Amino acid sequence: MKDDEEKIFRVSDKLVMGVVGDSGDTTQFAEYIAKNIQLYKMRNGYELGPTAAANFTRRNLAEYLRSRTPYFVNILMGGYDKENGPELYFMDYLASSVKVPFAAHGFGGYLSLSIMDRYHKKDLTEEQAYEVLQKCVKEVHKRLFVSLPNFQVTVVNRDGIKVLPVIDSSSSK
């Protein structure tokens, strides 16, 4: 079974989107949003901020929801805004959208959310945040017998998008 699926899409210079759900829907929707946001940049010479991009994404999800062809996808959208700093948006297939300090989708989310609740603080450094993620992954590997080994980590900050080392099953040792 594929264990290196790219679920985190680069939407623009300072915006990434993690998409999970029905295969096909995920890539299709993610690319549709990403290309529309690029088009905006080409037309206007400046990029959409994370709040506007999240609003746009949610609106599309909402409109398609009550059509014959809804997108069955859950999304986490993270971006960096010059005025408001880093922002994270949690969106689900029912077109809800909320700005949150941390979030998770999927069965692993049930465990991760409590861990993040316990260890997350405002103004965590990048290293500290990575450690919290490692704790979550460790728990997921311990408790879910059907879980995949590798977790891709992407960071967005004022300098752009950066990929951190993959958290894999060796972290639980």
Partner 1 sequence: MARRYDTRTTIFSPEGRLYQVEYAMEAISHAGTSLGILATDGILLAAERRNTNKLLDEVFFSEKIYKLNDDMVCSVAGITSDANVLTNELRLIAQRYLLQYGESIPCEQLVSWLCDVKQAYTQYGGKRPFGVSILYMGWDKHYGYQLYQSDPSGNYGGWKATCIGNNSAAAVSSLKQEYKENETTLAEAQALAVKVLSKTLDMTKLTPEKVEMATLTRKDNKTIIRVLTSSEVEKLITDFEKSEAEAEAAKKQPPKS
Q: Which residues bind partner 1 (CB under 8 A)?
A: 44, 46, 48-49, 51-52, 54-56, 59, 83
* Burial category of 63 from C-beta neighbours within 10 Å (exposed 0-12, middle 13-18, buried 19 and up): exposed
User: Within the chain, what is the greatest distance between any pair of CA atoms?
Assistant: 50
Closer residue to partner 1 in complex, CB, 32/130: 32
**Smallest distance, Å, CB 44 to partner 1?**
6
**Smallest distance, Å, CB 85 to partner 1?**
15
User: 3-class DSSP state for residue 114?
Assistant: helix
**Smallest distance, Å, CB 55 to partner 1?**
3
* Separation of alpha carbons 37 and 48, rounded Å: 7
Closer residue to partner 1 in complex, CB, 59/120: 59
87 and 99 Cβ atoms separated by less than 8 Å = yes
**Smallest distance, Å, CB 65 to partner 1?**
16
Measured from the Cβ of residue 158, the count of other Cβ atoms closer than 10 Å reads: 10
115 and 85 Cβ atoms separated by less than 8 Å = no
Closer residue to partner 1 in complex, CB, 53/132: 53
Closer residue to partner 1 in complex, CB, 62/166: 62
